[in-house]
Structure 1
Amino acid sequence: MITDILNWLQGLPQPALVGATGLLVFLECTIGLGFLAPGESGLLVAATTAHTVPRFLVLWAVVTVCATLGDSIGFGIGHRWGSRLRETKLIQQHGVEAWDRATGILQRRGVWAVFFARFLPVIRTLMPAAAGTSGLPFRKFLPAAFAGALCWSALHISLGVALGEAAKQIEGAFNTGGLIVLGVLVLAGLFFFRRWRKKRSRVEEKV
């Protein structure tokens, strides 16, 4: 089914492609539909056509707005139904572990979890509802969700433009979310390694 959707996307004219991609991203960001809508894959396919500045900017704006709206609806669902969402058949069948991870990250990182969850497959679908359930104020959630959507969409579109047709094959072999997570982990490792080196140097100077 997902392959059929992606093949259908590739055959659309540019305006329809942008609109359909925005819709897929919107649906992916709404809890329950994220397990069905290939938003990330659809974005990568659409990004291979964004090879001019106007096309890039239009796709970026549409996807950012759609992702933020989807996250806002997910937040509202979580705020309305609370922790009962975890016991629903959908979560029990597809995402209990991801739901627990999302709530755990929220408890440790707060609003930053909303931003970084955007780059994690499955968790980004559940994080908005988990944030609504946690009692996080919407005025704090919205800027973080928007910033995450802005950076996530820019990264994926840039990747699609840079790789062109090869991006479609890479998406099939290795989900881009995995590439992004790997990159974030490498950068985090380098950051903490540098801090450790500086701290060690200070200790040696004192000795």
Structure 2
Amino acid sequence: MTTLIALQAATADSSGDSLITRFADWAVGLMEIIGAPGAALAIAMENLFPPLPSEVILPLAGFTASRGSFSLFEALLWTTLGSIFGAYALYWVGRALGRERTRKIFGWLPMVDLDDVDKVEGWFDRNGSKAVFFGRMIPIFRSLISIPAGITKMNQGKFLGLTAAGSLIWNSIFVLAGFYLGENWHIVETYADVFQKIVIVAVVLLVALWLVLKLRKRKSKDLPLQPEYESENVD
């Protein structure tokens, strides 16, 4: 309860009664009731529901550890286990979908050619290890990257190792920040929010560029062929 009171005092001036504050209250209450496994449960939910911000949960786990509810090692261990659990759940969603169902789903979508789907799948087959590892450190993608890994049936041992390594790095940064910042843990959220917005803008721009290129390609296919005029030789 002391951690929850400290949290409410730290966020009262900056956040008011926002959704993030209520979620933070819930997460800290969970950690105080069941200890470090509560951090694992919260971060697993974040993996399954990307709108929930890991940039809030992880510093809170460090903040709670700094208040003595559990150790820093437990915070790092359980948040990483939670990340692995959430990632595995989405991995099996991808395995359940499989290649053929995924192709059918994308085949129903406008502006999507199955050739493009095959190219993305081929790219993931070649670069899946890097995508899973580094994807764990990119907002939004850190959750979604598990699905194509399941669709392509990435080796489970490799998936586990890459997920654990990438998640441990990401989690350590935020948990340690929350631990050492203490009641000022919410400072981390500001910088993380900027990073997330940069990622979102980059994704929007890439999608817009892809749409423009697809429209141009489709328009060029629809243009009627111009008749070719053969020059007549005059004797």
Q: What is the TM-score with the length of structure 1 in the denominator?
A: 0.66
Q: Which residue of 1 aligns with 2:64?
A: 49
Question: Do the aligned residues in 2 keep the contact of 1:106 with 1:114 (CA within 8 Å)?
Answer: no
1:47-86 to 2 correspondence within 5 Å? 47-51=62-66, 55-82=71-98, 84=101
Q: Which ranges in structure 1 are unaligned for 5 or more consecutive residues? A: 89-101, 183-207
Deviates more, 1:4-13 or 1:74-83: 4-13
Question: Do the aligned residues in 1 keep the contact of 2:60 with 2:175 (CA within 8 Å)?
Answer: no
Of the three residues 29, 32, 39, the one matched with 2:54 is 39
- Give the Cα–Cα distance (whole angstroms) in 2 for the partners of residues 159 and 6 of structure 1: 16
Structure 1 residues 155 and 42 mapped into 2: Cα distance closer, same or farther (>3 Å)?
same
Question: Do the aligned residues in 2 keep the contact of 1:78 with 1:133 (CA within 8 Å)?
Answer: yes
Q: Which residue of 2 aligns with 1:202?
A: none
- Give the Cα–Cα distance (whole angstroms) in 2 for the partners of residues 177 and 143 of structure 1: 29
**Cα RMSD (Å) of the superposition?**
3.4
Structure 1 residues 14 and 124 mapped into 2: Cα distance closer, same or farther (>3 Å)?
same
- Give the Cα–Cα distance (whole angstroms) in 1 for the partners of residues 50 and 135 of structure 2: 14
Q: Which residue of 2 aligns with 1:167?
A: 185
1:131 equivalent to 2:146? Answer no
1:112-133 Cα distance to aligned partner (Å, 9 max, x none): 2211111111001100112111
Structure 1 residues 143 and 119 mapped into 2: Cα distance closer, same or farther (>3 Å)?
same
Distance apart, 1:110 and its partner CA: 2.3
Q: Greater CA radius of gyration, 1 or 2? A: 2
Distance apart, 1:15 and its partner CA: 5.2
Distance apart, 1:39 and its partner CA: 3.2
- Give the Cα–Cα distance (whole angstroms) in 2 for the partners of residues 162 and 8 of structure 1: 22
1:13-53 Cα distance to aligned partner (Å, 9 max, x none): 645353332112112223xx223x3333112112113237x
Letter in 2 for 1:76: W
Matched residue SS, 1:22: helix
Percent of aligned positions that are identical: 27
Question: Do the aligned residues in 1 keep the contact of 2:39 with 2:82 (CA within 8 Å)?
Answer: no
- Give the Cα–Cα distance (whole angstroms) in 2 for the partners of residues 77 and 12 of structure 1: 27
1:7-18 to 2 correspondence within 5 Å? 7-11=25-29, 14=32, 16=34, 18=36
Structure 1 residues 11 and 74 mapped into 2: Cα distance closer, same or farther (>3 Å)?
closer
Q: Which ranges in structure 2 are unaligned for 5 or more consecutive residues? A: 1-18, 107-119, 200-235
Letter in 2 for 1:158: L
Distance apart, 1:82 and its partner CA: 2.9
- Give the Cα–Cα distance (whole angstroms) in 2 for the partners of residues 22 and 13 of structure 1: 9
